[in-house]
A and B are shown apart, each in its own frame.
Chain A
Amino acid sequence: MFMIFVLDEISFRNLLHQWLNSYKIFVPEIFDGQKVPNIAILNKEKLERFSLSVFENIRVREPLKAIFSLPKEKVASFGNGEDLEEREKVLLVGAKVCDLRPLAVLKKMYLKEDFVFEEFKERLENTLIISADCPYPQDTCFCNLVGLKPYCEKDIDGVLPDLNLSFVDNKILVEVFTERGEELLKDKIGVRKEEADKEILERRREIRDNAYFTLKKINEKELKEDIKKKVLEGEKDFWDKNLESCVECFGCLYVCPTCFCFLLSDYKVEEHYERIKVWDTCYHPMYARVAGGLNPRAEFYKRGRNRFHCKFSNFYSDYNFYACSGCGRCFSVCMGKIDIRKILLSL
């Protein structure tokens, strides 16, 4: 059982204020008239007019992988001295469960026994994560279809946030999952915290159950249990039909928080050379082409289904969870209105 404290809004604001002295803080920020927040960097000025209700929104538009594996970054240089990068301490506040599984996916991909993507590891170590319950799922949400719930009770596939926030009747429940999380609450001025009593925990249970119920109403039909086999069985016609409206903008894969692919490219910069890592997408026609011209996925349906094979079969076979968190970012940005759920459910 983890410690759960109850804070009032002023106390939580005071916490944020003091955390700003030690951390670069990422929070969701909602712009006028928008339903979905964007990721933003908190500062003292912003905090003055910052509404805590933003934490009750669904996940931010941007995939949080961008904090841990930058869309474009230098990973090696030759011919000049080593760049020493200062790693900032980062506090990520308001991550949703559908942001946590993607970190689990990236951990599996980038932290291997024999090879470690150091930049990712350092950023992960330097980032404290405060997750937040997701009480109001929207029609793009489907975390329940991939084995998740819209709140965090324990680690998500090996990723445990340091703290978790639940908003209950103008109070903030702060659940402490880690020692780092405990440290975050220690010796803070102007923070009144009480241990959560049974009553407020029951209220939290109710809100959480409601959120899950809403989600189940949005996604009534479950994925077939053997979806990891089914997804491999889809024939050319199936993929052609279901991906017909794709304009190959690759938007779905760039915003996908679990897509881990990248490409290394070398450049000459003045008198030295640099190796740059950029996010890549398996929908790109050149993605799998080899020198000499052969391309195992020259036809689009093969690239299209590769995404499904990767997320729902291959990754699952290796790690026992889907490389999909049901965040719905992919079809939120899709110009062809391709809903990944419909494809999965029709398999």
Chain B
Amino acid sequence: MSKLFKPIKAKILDIIDETPTIRTFVLKPEEEFNFLAGQFAALTCFGIGEGFFTPSSSPYDKEKIEFTIMRVGRVTNGLFNLKRGDYVGLRGPFGKPYPLEKFEGREVFIVGGGVGMAPLRSLFFALLHDLSKYKKVYIRYGARTPRDLVYKNSLFEWQKIENVDIELTVDVGDETWKGKVGVVTILLDEIPCDVNTACAVVCGPPLMMKFTLQKLLEKNFKEENIYLSMEKNMSCAVGMCGHCRMGRYFVCKDGPVLTWQEIKDIEDPFI
């Protein structure tokens, strides 16, 4: 049998509870597994099936690989039933990475919503690897409640890094929350960067993507500089099975990140 659909094994080193419904799985692949920021992988929960996730860890971390996953369906339910020391399958990497070379010398404006922060964290780590190459990195991140913010502690640490500007918001605050309240687009009322050259990178739930895009366009970001993470049903991840068809693209092969310029003619791309 071909190796195309057979994953390698990866041991679960740790499981971190990020929020009540989101966990980060820290994996140690049994074989070398390299990826670039933005590429995704297929995780097999043995006997249940595969789910497709972009790693949330640094592509430069050769010791382990992390996936931050929200419990939503059959496979993620299966993954949430696993414990430290168990094994999952890992297949990939697939898709195109973020075009970091295009970001060089420019401001990178990252907008995340909920668990959509996962691939963006990997991107952020990749940018941090040589921050001097980029003019400035902005993160605008929103979640439903303070409890739903992932990587909370890290976010506050990253705020201290020079040339990194982070703002957070929650839809509904609580007694512990001192920050902004409102959907993530309220963080886009003031755009501190040069929209003629800045690259915006967006990942989050469909509605958040839709309204964030609208706001970015209103603020005159260039269509070709808005990078959007597309979520589609997938099965093979290698452009053969047809499931992730979106207009003329296969999201697994041509994405998962596509620019607004590439997909603007597609009807309802975010559904």
A residues near B (Cβ < 8 Å) are 74-79, 82-83, 85, 109-110, 112, 114-119, 260-268, 273, 275, 277, 280, 282, 287-292, 294-296, 306, 309-310, 313-314, 317-318
Q: Which 8 A-B pairs have the closest CB atoms?
A: A291-B73, A118-B2, A261-B242, A76-B6, A268-B47, A115-B238, A75-B5, A292-B72
Instruction: Report B186-207 CB contacts with A as 1/0, cut-off 8 Å.
Output: 0000000000000000000010
Are A261 and B48 neighbours in the complex by a CB distance under 8 Å?
Answer: no
Q: How many residues of B contact A (CB 8 A)?
A: 38
Select the residue from B44, B72, B89, B248 with max chain A CB neighbours within 10 A.
B248
User: Which of B27-35, B121-129, B161-169, B228-236 lies at the binding interface?
Assistant: B228-236
Q: Report yes or no: A264 in contact with B46, Cβ–Cβ below 8 A.
A: no
Cα-based distance from A280 to B89 in the complex (angstroms): 23
Q: Would you list which residues of chain B between 1 and 59 have a CB under 8 Å from chain A?
A: 1-7, 44, 46-51
Choose among B7, B72, B206, B235 the residue with the greatest number of A CB atoms under 10 Å from its CB: B235
User: Which one, A75, A109, A266, A313, contacts B2 given CB within 8 A?
Assistant: A75
* 19 examples of A-B residue contacts, CB within 8 angstroms: A76-B1, A77-B1, A110-B240, A118-B1, A118-B4, A264-B236, A266-B49, A266-B50, A268-B46, A275-B6, A277-B5, A282-B242, A290-B231, A290-B232, A296-B271, A310-B245, A314-B245, A314-B247, A318-B248
* Most chain A CB within a 10 A radius of its CB, from B4, B5, B240, B243: B240
Instruction: Please encode chain B, from 143 to 184, with 1 for each CB lying within 8 Å of some chain A CB and 0 for all others.
Output: 000000000000000000000000000000000000000000
**Does chain A have a CB within 8 A of B268?**
yes
Nearest A-chain residue to B75, judged by Cβ: A291
Q: Is B241 an interface residue (CB 8 A)?
A: yes
Q: How far is the CB of B139 from chain A (nearest CB, A)?
A: 24
Residue B83 at the A interface, CB < 8 A? Answer: no
Cross-chain contact of A78 among B3, B6, B242, B246 (Cβ < 8 A): B6
A79 vs B47: C-alpha distance when bound (angstroms)? 11
Nearest residue, chain A, Cβ from B244:
A288
Residue of A nearest to B45 (CB): A266
Q: Which positions 68-103 of chain B face chain A at CB distance < 8 Å?
A: 72-76, 89
Told that A290-B233, A292-B72, A292-B73 touch, could you supply 5 new A-B pairs with CB distance under 8 A? A261-B243, A262-B235, A266-B50, A282-B245, A290-B232
Mostly, the A contact residues are: mixed
Whether B1 pairs with A260 at a CB distance below 8 angstroms is no
Please give, as numbers and ranges, the residues of chain A lying within 8 Å of B246 by CB-CB distance: 296
With a CB–CB cut-off of 8 A, which chain A residues contact B72? 291-292
**Contact among A79, A264, A309 for B241, CB-based, below 8 A:** A264
Contact B248 A313 (CB under 8 A): yes
Determine if A317 and B248 form an interchain contact, defined as CB atoms under 8 angstroms apart: yes
B268 and A288 within 8 A (CB)? no
Shortest A274–chain B CB gap in Å is 9
Enumerate chain A residues within 8 angstroms of B44, measured Cβ to Cβ. Answer: 78, 266
CB contact list, B213-254 vs A, under 8 A: 231-233, 235-236, 238-243, 245-248
Contact B47 A109 (CB under 8 A): no
Of chain A, the residue at the smallest CB distance from B46 is A273
Query: Of B1, B235, B239, which is within 8 A of A74 by CB?
Result: B1
Nearest Cβ in chain B — how far from A82, in angstroms?
Answer: 7
Q: Which of B5, B75, B233 contacts A288 (CB 8 A)?
A: B233
Contact of B1 among A119, A262, A287 (CB under 8 A): A119
CA distance A260 to B239 in the complex (A): 11
Q: Name the residue of chain A whose CB is nearest to the CB of B206.
A: A294
With contacts A76-B6, A288-B233 taken as known, whether A267 is within 8 angstroms of B47 at the C-beta atoms is yes
The distance in angstroms between the C-alpha atoms of A262 and B235, with both chains bound, is 8
A294 to B76, CA, bound (A): 16
Whether A294 contacts B271 by the Cβ 8 Å rule is: yes
| Minimum Cβ distance to chain B for residue A229 (Å) | 12
Cβ A306 vs Cβ B245 within 8 A? yes
If the complex has contacts A78-B89, A112-B238, A294-B271, are A288 and B243 also in contact, measured as CB distance less than 8 A? yes
Among A76, A260, A277, max chain B CB count under 10 A is at: A76
A287 and B49 within 8 A (CB): no
Closest Cβ neighbor of B234 among chain A residues? A290
- A109–B250 Cα gap in the complex (Å)? 11
| Distance of B271 from chain A, by nearest CB (Å) | 5
In the assembled complex, the CB of B70 is this many whole angstroms from the nearest CB of chain A, namely: 8
For A287, what are the chain B residues with a Cβ–Cβ distance below 8 Å?
233, 243
Residues of B contacting A76 in the complex (Cβ-Cβ under 8 angstroms):
1, 5-7
Please, how many angstroms separate the alpha-carbon atoms of A57 and B75 in the complex? 48
Please indicate the chain B residues that have their CB under 8 angstroms from the CB of A273 in the complex.
Answer: 46-47
Instruction: Please state if B233 and A289 are interface contacts (CB–CB under 8 Å).
Output: yes
In the docked arrangement, what's the CA distance between A291 and B76, Å?
9
A310, closest chain B residue (CB): B245
